[in-house]
Structure 1
């Protein structure tokens, strides 16, 4: 059943066992840190990145496993190259596990049409983006059939995904 989306921080704080994030786009909205990186400037992560890291540390500290899987086209876009460059200091240092799946290895997988967060294998928060990668909204869903499909898709991507430390861009 589709419901109004809860506050994301509250949703993540409600996780008891697991939080999984599936990303399937090759670029997202403009980010000033990304823009600086593209111009060769050193990457200084702004406050909102530190807030995210603290939320991840808090969540993992409660015993919640956090996994992030990224399905990417190859050769990768500059945006993905940047995400890869900051993953160690931003995601992994906070406690997330991250894997990368080249899109060519996902052709036989049934994948949802949108990025998402899966909480405790019971709740899904889908994220919508415009074609240019700008935020377009989200949808919360607890329908058992939808959740089952999402769990299956995420686990298939995770099983095939390459751990961050082994994936090169």
Structure 2
């Protein structure tokens, strides 16, 4: 094995042969733990770390933490995605929220297609947007998320401009 090359054996401390190898292992382990400590959320680190844990222990606990709540997180995000309404926010904020929820769902293994994302905008808009909803619904092919968002933004800016003339 080349000096400085990381392998599963080195990270898990298997088959170390000499004191130098063990010292090198502790150094590599400390560097990896430092990386964990500098990149993970402090509250999460408090949950997964202990005084005598190795980098591999941290990784296993972190992996277990996220895998254990994957399904409940997916259900929560799907509920939020399906029930997020535009209410008093702008189209931009509303679409940003939906896109973030879609990205979060993808991270837990539930992909939302661009068309479903566009359809969700249509489902959750209030009656003042029904004209543009009709236009988008009858557009062939059905517009992807970005195009639908831009159509809503254009409608929103026209409505704001026409209100200022009254």
Question: What's the TM-score bracket when you normalise by the shorter of the two chains?
Answer: under 0.3
The structure that is strand-richer by fraction is: 1
Relative contact order (C-alpha < 8 Å, sep 6+): which is higher?
A: 1
TM-score scaled to structure 1, two decimals? 0.22
Using structure 2 for the length normalisation, give the TM-score. Answer: 0.22
Structure with greater Cα Rg: 2
Instruction: Write 1 or 2 for the structure with the bigger share of helix.
Output: 2
